[in-house]
Amino acid sequence: MLGVALRRVAVGVPVIVGVTVIIFFVLRVLPGNVVDVITQGAPTTPGERHDIIVEFGLDKPVLAQYGSFVWDALHGNFGISFETREPVISQIGSQALATIELTAAAMALTVVLGVGLGVVSAVFRDTWIDATIRAVTLVGSSMPIILTGPLLILLFSFTVHLFPANGSGTPSELVLPAIALAMFTTGVIIRLVRNSMLEVMNLEFVTALRAKGTGEARIWLRHILRNALVPAVTLLGVQLGGLLSGAVVAETVFGRQGLGSLLVTGIQDKDYPIVQAIVLIVATAYVVINIVVDVGYAYLDPRVRTRLAR
Amino acid sequence: MDNTTAPAGTATSVLPLLAGRWGGRPVWRRRWLPRGRLMRWLAIAFLALLAGWALVPGLFASGSPTAVNPVAALLGPSGHYLLGTDQYGRSVYTELVYGARPALEVGLACTLIGGLTGSAVGIIGGYLGGWADMAVMRLIDILLALPGLFLALIFIAALPRTVPNEILAISISTVPIFARVLRGQALQVRSLLFIDAATVTGVRRRAIVWRHVVPNCMAPAVVLAAVNIGVAIVVAASLNFLGLGPSEGVLDWGALIASGQNYINQDWWISVFPGLTVALLVIAVSIIGDWLRDAMEPSSG
């Protein structure tokens, strides 16, 4: 158990370090002169330029700048925003909750609908129920958020006045963006649960259960589903990445607050400290959650434990 | 049916699933789309239509996509304006037709550049093994830690907003997926007996790679490329929707959807039709991708 955890962390740490390297060097080297970025091309005196260089630590060698970027990030300090000249972390802190809310709501929808409809689809395989679920899934997961967003707003905000079209704060404002965001990942999970249930269904132990006289409901829910959920859990960790990047689009579509819309404005304003901080935080969260999923999973399933420990 | 060919115990093999190895096809990649020739022909027909739009837009739409006509602003779909008009009185249909070329250009260019780079990296790692493979694996891990849009967004943020830079950013985000799949495939090919035979008979390594490994890695690469064209187009449209696309005002479906969102209440056609076009494109390439997979890998159907 501990071995699995250590192994995953040993892989995870260099990955995060690599991410910091990409984030720092791409956003420091590619844009050209950082002072020009900060001044937005406005005319400046040499004195003002010197002040900016000192304020943002640009007089130090690049490697030292990278070092202090990582060191400060470890302490929760992501520098000063080019735009507002305020600490980045305070701006992010106020937005993170909205994004966590949205992603968690979408994840909950994905789990409930994905597993639920996956089971229904597997139990009623090759009937019209299965066919309907598959067709709806295909269409739903092929629609990009930039289409589902406006469509949902059109249908449920303006045609039927059920939910507000935009805003963030109240639960009812969370419904439409969460649905739009969960559409794709739900499709993936339905597909996976159905297919892996159909695979487990043909294993010998199921025949043994039937021979023993176990009821169908119990066989499906207790034995087949449980085994079929094994790959679904891992895939959920991976799908979190899809939800996080979808949240960037969904927040803009639905005019919500959050890290995604902050990131988009940060990119538009060339406010690199904001961009660096958000990307780094999202990537770290993604990696950490996947490590937790893997370890938790090895804890639950001894077969995985031996596989991961190899 | 697709459920009978599953090898026993597939559901428990987690690592191949994560590694996305082509041979033990990941469970979620198994057949899902409707079979049948009709769907396939519909998909081909739709893609052919889009190709026609891209190649000779003038043949499909009369008038200019940018001609402003305030008198005809925000008209619903009609005989004259097939899909209605936008807030400037431009025909949405004409804009859709003329938007096909930039969209397909981005989709094809990103798939070509990112796909070739990723494939090369993956094949090198998978075939050489050892430290080269370690390096490739770590690189893939790092790039995949920046999920979906984020990898592209870093480059979008750093570079000036031009079409080539947008293509570069999306291409880079394509690399890890190709590298991962092709690495798995190269690993498998390398372990086949005829590669050993070639090595033993003194065939040079470069010849083995080009004559034997690369051709045997083509099938998954082609399938992945087909699907990726759709993905790249969606990513580009999303970037343009977010206002992070090229600044020189390229006609784009995503930007069209964004501009229509302000009018979604009454004049829904501005957003909905471009959105549907993108969605149909994604469905069409998935169907083609599945078909290619079946055609190229008869054993795994």
Q: Is the pTM of this model over 0.90?
A: no
Q: What is the pLDDT of residue B297?
A: 67
Structure tokens at A269: 């304003």
CB nearest B3 (choices: A11, A198, A279): A198
Query: Does residue B298 form part of some domain?
Result: no
* Rounded CA separation B150/A283 (Å): 9
Q: What is the pLDDT of residue B145?
A: 93
In B, which residues are within 8 Å of A248 by CB distance? 149-150, 153, 242
Chain B contact for A265 (CB, 8 A cutoff): no
Query: Which residue in chain A has the smallest CA separation from B247?
Result: A268
pLDDT in tens, A187-209: 999 999 998 999 888 889 999 99
Structure tokens at B228: 């990726």
Lowest-confidence pick of A54-68, A210-224, B145-159: A54-68
Structure tokens at A71: 């060191």
Give me Rg for the CA atoms of chain A: 24
Question: In chain B, how many domains are there?
Answer: 1
Q: What is the distance in angstroms between the Cα of B259 and the nearest Cα belonging to chain A? A: 11
Q: What is the pLDDT of residue B19?
A: 37
Q: What is the pLDDT of residue A309?
A: 55
Q: What is the pLDDT of residue A79?
A: 85
Q: In the 8-state DSSP scheme, what is residue B6?
A: P
Q: Are B111 and B225 in contact (CB under 8 A)?
A: yes
Q: Are B221 and B115 in contact (CB under 8 A)?
A: yes
Query: Does residue B78 form part of some domain?
Result: no
Q: Please, which pLDDT band fits residue A58 given cuts at 50, 70 and 90?
A: confident
CB nearest A199 (choices: B6, B260, B272): B6
pLDDT over 50 (residue A80): yes
Strands (DSSP E) found in B140-210 = none
In B, which residues are within 8 Å of A242 by CB distance? 147-148
* Rounded CA separation A261/B264 (Å): 20
pLDDT in tens, A150-167: 889 888 888 888 888 777
Ranges of residues in chain B whose predicted pLDDT is under 70: 1-36, 297-301
Best to test chain A binding among B154, B177, B231 (most A CBs inside 10 Å): B154
Q: What is the pLDDT of residue B4?
A: 33
Query: Which residue in chain B has the smallest CA separation from A269?
Result: B157
Query: Does residue B152 form part of some domain?
Result: yes
Chain B contact for A138 (CB, 8 A cutoff): yes
CB nearest A263 (choices: B146, B153, B264): B153
pLDDT in tens, A11-32: 899 999 999 999 999 988 777 7
Q: Closest Cα to residue B153, out of A184, A183, A262, A91?
A: A262
Q: Closest Cα to residue A145, out of A189, A116, A178, A170?
A: A178
Number of Cβ pairs < 8 A linking chain A and chain B: 207
In A, which residues are within 8 Å of B46 by CB distance? none
Give, in order, the Cα–Cα distances in Å from A51 to each of A35, A59, A160, B108: 10, 10, 56, 46
* Rounded CA separation B267/B271 (Å): 8
Q: What is the pLDDT of residue B165?
A: 93
Q: Across A7-16, A42-51, A100-109, A155-164, which has the greatest mean pLDDT?
A: A100-109
Query: Does residue B51 form part of some domain?
Result: yes
* Rounded CA separation A225/A222 (Å): 6
Q: Closest Cα to residue A137, out of A154, A159, A120?
A: A120
H or E element at residue A274: helix A272-300
CB atoms within 10 A of CB A211: 8
Q: Are A88 and A80 in contact (CB under 8 A)?
A: yes
Give, in order, the Cα–Cα distances in Å from A200 to each of A212, A296, B14, B300: 18, 22, 14, 18
Q: What is the pLDDT of residue A307?
A: 64
Q: Please, which pLDDT band fits residue A247 given cuts at 50, 70 and 90?
A: very high
Residue type, A236: L
SS (H, E, C) chain A: CHHHHHHHHHHHHHHHHHHHHHHHHHHHHCCCCHHHHHHCCCCCCHHHHHHHHHHCCCCCCHHHHHHHHHHHHHCCCCCECCCCCCEHHHHHHHHHHHHHHHHHHHHHHHHHHHHHHHHHHHHCCCCHHHHHHHHHHHHHHHCCHHHHHHHHHHHHHHHCCCCCCCCCCCCHHHHHHHHHHHHHHHHHHHHHHHHHHHHHHCCHHHHHHHHHCCCHHHHHHHHHHHHHHHHHHHHHHHHHHHHHHHHHHHHHHCCCCCHHHHHHHHHHCCCHHHHHHHHHHHHHHHHHHHHHHHHHHHHHCHHHHHHHHC
**End-to-end CA, chain A:** 12
Q: What is the pLDDT of residue B32?
A: 54
Q: What is the distance in angstroms between the Cα of B60 and the nearest Cα belonging to chain A? A: 24
Q: What is the distance in angstroms between the Cα of A27 and the nearest Cα belonging to chain B? A: 5
Q: Are A127 and A120 in contact (CB under 8 A)?
A: no
In A, which residues are within 8 Å of B229 by CB distance? none
ipTM attached to this prediction: 0.89
Give, in order, the Cα–Cα distances in Å from A81 to each of A65, A277, A297, B16: 16, 10, 40, 43
Q: What is the distance in angstroms between the Cα of A203 and the nearest Cα belonging to chain B? A: 6
Query: Does residue B195 form part of some domain?
Result: yes
Chain B contact for A195 (CB, 8 A cutoff): yes
B79 burial type by CB count under 10 A (0-12 exposed, 13-18 middle, 19+ buried): exposed
* Rounded CA separation A131/A129 (Å): 5
Query: Does residue B20 form part of some domain?
Result: no
Q: What is the pLDDT of residue A302?
A: 75
Q: Which positions 36-65 of A are in contact with B (Cβ < 8 Å)?
A: none
Q: Tokens 């090759």 correspond to what residue?
A: A126
pLDDT over 90 (residue A281): yes
- Contact between A202 and B260 using a beta-carbon 8 Å cutoff: no
**End-to-end CA, chain B:** 9
Across the range A242-247, mean pLDDT stands at 91
Query: Does residue B50 form part of some domain?
Result: yes
Higher pLDDT, B199 or A43: B199
Domain carrying residue B248: 32-64+83-278
CB atoms within 10 A of CB A25: 13
* Rounded CA separation A310/A151 (Å): 48
* CATH number of B163's domain: 1.10.3720.10
CA B75 centroid distance within chain: 34
Query: Does residue B14 form part of some domain?
Result: no
CB nearest B146 (choices: A19, A151, A153): A19
User: Which residues are bridge partners to A279 per DSSP?
Assistant: none
In A, which residues are within 8 Å of B158 by CB distance? 26-27, 30-31, 272
Please provide residue A87's backbone torsions phi and psi, each rounded to the nearest 5 degrees: -60, 135
- Contact between A203 and B8 using a beta-carbon 8 Å cutoff: yes
Q: Closest Cα to residue B270, out of A151, A28, A70?
A: A151
